[in-house]
Amino acid sequence: MISKQKILLIAIIVLIILVGSLNLFPRFVPEQKNYKIYGKALNKYQTGSFSDAYDTFGKVSKFSKLKPAAIYRQALCAEKSGDNKTKIKKYNEIIRNYSNSTLGIRAKYLKAQYLYGNKKYKKAKKEFLWLLNKTPQTDYGIASNYYLGLIEVQHSKSIKNQKKKLKSETKAVKYFKNYLKASPKGRFAVNCIEEWTTLNRKLNNEDNLVIAKIYIANGKHKEASKYLKYTNISLSWPYFVQNTYAMRDYSKTKYYTVLGLKDNTAEEILINEDFDEKEETKNIYDAIDTYLKLNSSPKESIQYLLSIAEKSGGYDYLLFKTCNNLPENRQTACYNTLFYKYPNGQFSADALANIFYDKIKSQNYFAAQKLGKKHLLKYKDAKSTPKVMFWMAKIAQRTKNYEDARSYYKNVIEKFPDDYYAYHAFLNLNTLRRFSVIELTQKPIEFPYKNYDYGLVTELAQVKDYGLINQLYNDDLFIRSWLAYLQGDFSNSARVARDAMEKLSFKPSRSDPRWRLVYPIHYYDDINIRSKTWHNDPVLILSIIREESYFNPKAQSHAGASGLMQLMPSAANEAGAIIGIKVPNRNMLLDPDINIRLGNIYYSQLRKRLSGKDILTVMAYNGGIGSVLKWKDNLNYLDTDDFVEQIPYPETQNYLKKVYRSYWNYLRIYDGIRF
C-alpha cells in the first residue's frame, strides 16, 4: 500500500511537470545570452525598427539584471511608435517592480510628465510630490518643483476666493524658488521666472535679485537689468558688474565695482535664510578680477581698490593680491598683516604657509617649525598643507632629525598621494635607493568603478547602451568622463575626471580605474619614438602635453601657440630648421605627428642649453630660457626644492608643479618606476 507521503510527492512532481510544460514559470537564460538578446534589440532600436525592437527586448529574461532596462527600452519603443498606452503600462511595470532604483525613479518622473501634459493634474501632482519627498536632491526631485509650481498656477486660476487664490499662488512661487535655488541654470529656470512674474505679485528687493541672477546665469542680460534696478545695490553690486561687463558697458562695470567696495552697509542689511555667503564672496572676488582686467595697470588698480575697500567683503582678497605683487623683502610683513587680520579667512592658510617658508629661507628653522605645526594643526586639508608638510620634513632632514623627516615625507605621500609634493617626498625618501624611470605599462580605460553599487550600470556597459547610461547617470562626473572617452572626446574626458577627482576628500588607490581617466595615455607610441630620438624622457613629454593641451591636437591659444605641445611658430621654425622642415602656418602644427616631433626637438635644444637639467627645461618651456638663466644666477637657494619655491613668476612655478604632478602620477599609475 502506497503511503500518503508518497502520493503527495508524486502529485507535486506531476504538478511541476505540468506547469513546466505550460511555461507558467520563466526558464532560466544564461546572462551572456541576455546580453546578445539585448544587444540585438538595441541595434534594431537604433536603426528605427521599433516594433521588432520592442518584441526582442521582451525576450530578455525576467531574472536578468538587464530586465529593468529592457522594459524601459520597450517603453521608448512604444513612445516612438505613438503607443502611449503601452508606454505608460511599461513605466508602471518598472515602478511596480523596481520602484527605488534609478530607472524606477526616472520612469515615475516620465509618467508624471505625461500625466501633466494630458492635463491630469491631480494624478501628476501625486507623482511629483512623491519624487520631491523621496528624491529631493536628484534632478527628478528638483524638476518636480517646477511642475508642482505649474500645477498650483493652474489650480489658482480656477479659484474665485481671493484669499485661497493668493495661498495657491504663494505655494507656486515657493516651488519655483526652490527650483531656482537648486538649479539656476536648469532647463526650466527661465520658465520659472516667466511663470512667477505673470502672477503679478509684488516683488521685494530679494525677489528682484533672485530673478536678475537667474537671467544673468542664462545669458539674458537685458532682462536682468530690468530687475537689478529694483534691488539693494549694497548686496547686488557684483551682479551689476557681471551684467554690465557681459553687455560690454565697461565704464559702468568699473563704476559699480568702486561703488560696491566703497559702500560698507551690506553687513547691516538683514540677509534671508537662503543667503549663500561663499557664493556671494566669490562674486565679490570675481567683480574685483573683472575690474582689474579692464585697467591697464593692475598693480595701481589694486592699490586704489585697497584704499577704498577697508570694510568691504573683498578687502582680504585685495590684500592677498597686494602681498603677491610686492617685492620679496616686503611680502612677509604683508602676509603677517593678512593672517592676523583674517585668521579664519579664505587666504589665511596660504598667508601662514608663506610666512612659514620665509623663516626657512632665512634658516630660522626653530621659528619655522612652530609656524609649520600651527599650520598643520589648523589647516588639515588646505591647498598649502602638502607644501608645509613637505617642508617640515626638509627642516627635520636639515637638522638631522631623520626619523621625523621620514614620518613627514610618508604622511605627504599617504595623505596627498597625487600631489607635486608627494613626488618630491618620494624622491627624498629614496635618495639612498637607486631607481629608474621605465616605460609605462599601458592599461586600458575601463568603467570607472570596480564595485559599483548600481548593478544596472555595469550591465549596460557590457551591452554598450551608452545612451541609457548617459540618461541615468549623467550627474556622476566619472561616468560622464568615461562616456566622453568612449566617444573620442579625450580632452573633455580628462578635464571632467580631473575635476571629479579634485572633489574627493579621500583619494583612491593608484590601481583604481578612475585615475586612468584623470591621467590617460594618448599618442604614447609616437611620443616614445620622438622622445628617444632626441634623448628626452617620454613620460615627461607626455606630462607636458597633458598640461599644455589636454590631448587636444587642435588646441590654439590667443598668444599663437598651437597643437598638442602648444608650440609657438618661432619655436616650431627653430626646431624645424634642424631637420629641414619649414612651418609656413599654424595649421601645420595641428598635425599630432609634426607637433610631437618638433616639440621634442625644441625641448631637446632647450635642455642642451640648460646642462641637461629637466626641471630647468620645463621652467624654460613656459617662462623662457632667459628668465631661467637669470633666476639661476640671482636667487638665493640651497637646493632644487628651494629654487622652485622662489621662482618669481607664479605662472611658471605653477606650471612646473603641474607638469611634475602629472609626471609623478603617470609613474605611479602605470608602474613607471623600477628599483
Catalytic residues: 548
CB 56 within 8 A of CB 41: yes
CB 234 within 8 A of CB 266: yes
Please give the helix or strand (H or E) that residue 124 lies within, else none: helix 121-134
Q: Identify any residues that bridge with 320 across adjacent strands, giving them in sequence order.
A: none
What does the alpha-carbon distance between residue 364 and residue 36 come to, in Å, rounded to a whole number?
70
What does the alpha-carbon distance between residue 520 and residue 513 come to, in Å, rounded to a whole number?
10
What does the alpha-carbon distance between residue 227 and residue 243 come to, in Å, rounded to a whole number?
11
What does the alpha-carbon distance between residue 197 and residue 200 come to, in Å, rounded to a whole number?
6
What does the alpha-carbon distance between residue 585 and residue 577 come to, in Å, rounded to a whole number?
15
What does the alpha-carbon distance between residue 447 and residue 414 come to, in Å, rounded to a whole number?
25
* Coil vs helix vs strand at 400: coil
* Phi-psi label, residue 48: left if phi above 0, alpha if psi -120 to 50, beta otherwise: left
Q: Identify any residues that bridge with 335 across adjacent strands, giving them in sequence order.
A: none
Q: Where are the alpha helices (DSSP H) in 504-587?
A: 513-518, 524-533, 538-549, 569-579
CB 521 within 8 A of CB 530: no
| Residue whose grid cell is 629608474 | 436
DSSP string covering 196-226, please?
A: HHTT-PPP-HHHHHHHHHHHHHTT-HHHHHH
- Residue 486: what are its φ and ψ, rounded to 5°? -60, -30
| Residue whose grid cell is 535679485 | 209
Residue whose C-alpha is closest to residue 599's, from 552, 563, 624: 563
- Count of beta carbons in the 10 Å neighbourhood of residue 9: 11
Q: For residue 208, what is its C-alpha cell?
A: 528682484
Q: Give the sign of the dihedral formed by CA 80, CA 84, CA 86, CA 92.
A: positive
Please give the helix or strand (H or E) that residue 673 lies within, else none: strand 673-674
- Residue 23: what are its φ and ψ, rounded to 5°? 60, 35
Q: For residue 302, what is its C-alpha cell?
A: 589694486
CB 672 within 8 A of CB 666: yes
